[in-house]
Amino acid sequence: MSELNQEVVDLVWGRPSSGVVSASIFRRWTQGFVFCENEQTALEQFEGGPCAVLAPVQAFLFKNILFNRESSNWRQMTEEEQKTVLCSTLSEILESACSSPSTGFCLVTWAKGQSPHSSTQSQSQTQEVPAPESSQPPQEQQPTALAAEDLGFERFHSVVHKRTVMSVSGLREEVLSLCHTWRGCCGVLLFLYSVILTKGIENIRNEIQDTTEPLIDPVHGHGSQSLVNLLVTGHAVSNVWDGDRECSGMKLHGIHKQASVGFLTLMESLRYCKVGAFLKSPKFPIWILGSETHLSVFFTKASSIQSSISSNTYFRHTDTVCKSSAGLKNQNMECA
């Protein structure tokens, strides 16, 4: 599979009993990072599954928009500002995932001339059909949300390659230069693979509680808690409590320091788990909220709300809000 070995594929997708990854599940993950037309700071999700990547990226986007950007109106951004803040956010997550700066950062991109846009363009030229005029250069044309052609699982893995960047400054430059890639077809998957290879397969396996559990569920297509934690904290641990715990001689890894953005789950209100303070009280008042079937992002500019997060009243309130918002397209909500 090109330069991506079977270990990476097994870690992400597992080994389904049928022997092949479901085509419908794979296709649901082939979207890029696309901003909503009506909400200029919100990323759009088109099918179920990739919220495990989109929600953490959205949470860090809000952090950078609300607290690192000088603007009185956080809802409005130019296309150039969208490009800058998206790439800055992706770089930040990659930096967090890097276990050792000496090993560098990995970026997974299309092999030269192998992107879906290139394939479509080549086919058009072969058929001598004139390409439509555009005011933007080819690499900056409006990104497509889903694959322009049905790549398929095997085809996708045969036309991507990895490159290594050895410095943080080099990483930020490369990520920015590849903005059209992240926003185009399969941008979410390309970024996910970049994070995994930057972190290191062995490092991820050492942190995951159950190494037989893939990062993407082969039946339903949703991302695991380990995947969410990897993007939020840089560590692919399977649990949400503070620190490590022992159970029957087995060490169960949790969160070891205060996260920049937080994570809450409705499962805690049902007493199935307990989220630790490192995720419940993050550095910035932004939280990913896990419901039974989806991940949403809650945020506020008022830091005072963080002191009330641990109360049961808050969880009953978020339960009501989350259920009432089930039909929202972008799944991002601002707390008053």
Does any domain span residue 201? yes
**161-175 pLDDT per residue, tens:** 999 999 999 999 999
pLDDT of residue 113: 75
Q: Which of 230, 334, 242, 243 is nearest to 289 (CA)?
A: 334
pLDDT of residue 229: 98
Does any domain span residue 1? no
Residues marked active site are found at 51, 294
Q: What is this structure's pTM?
A: 0.85
| Average pLDDT rounded to a whole number, residues 70-75 | 81
**252-272 pLDDT per residue, tens:** 999 999 999 999 999 888 888
Does any domain span residue 203? yes
* In 20-124, beta strands by DSSP E: 105-110
Q: Is 103 helix (H, G, I), strand (E, B) or coil?
A: helix
Does any domain span residue 72? yes
**Across the strands, what pairs with 107?**
163
Q: How far is CA 282 from the centre of its chain?
A: 18
Does any domain span residue 311? yes
Torsion of CA 278, 291, 145, 176, to 10 degrees: 0
Is it the case that residue 15 has pLDDT exceeding 90? no
- How far CA 311 is from CA of 27, 43, 293, 315, in Å, comes to 40, 30, 23, 7
Domain that includes residue 202, residue range = 6-130+139-334
Tokens found for residue 315: 């969880």
Does any domain span residue 299? yes
Count of domains forming the chain: 1
pLDDT of residue 224: 96
pLDDT of residue 120: 36
Does any domain span residue 76? yes
- How far CA 80 is from CA of 146, 151, 179, in Å, comes to 22, 29, 11
**173-211 pLDDT per residue, tens:** 999 999 999 999 999 999 999 999 999 999 999 999 888
**269-304 pLDDT per residue, tens:** 888 889 999 999 999 999 999 988 899 999 998 766
Q: Name every residue whose Cβ is closer than 8 Å to that of residue 189 and which is 6 or more positions away in sequence.
A: 29, 30, 156
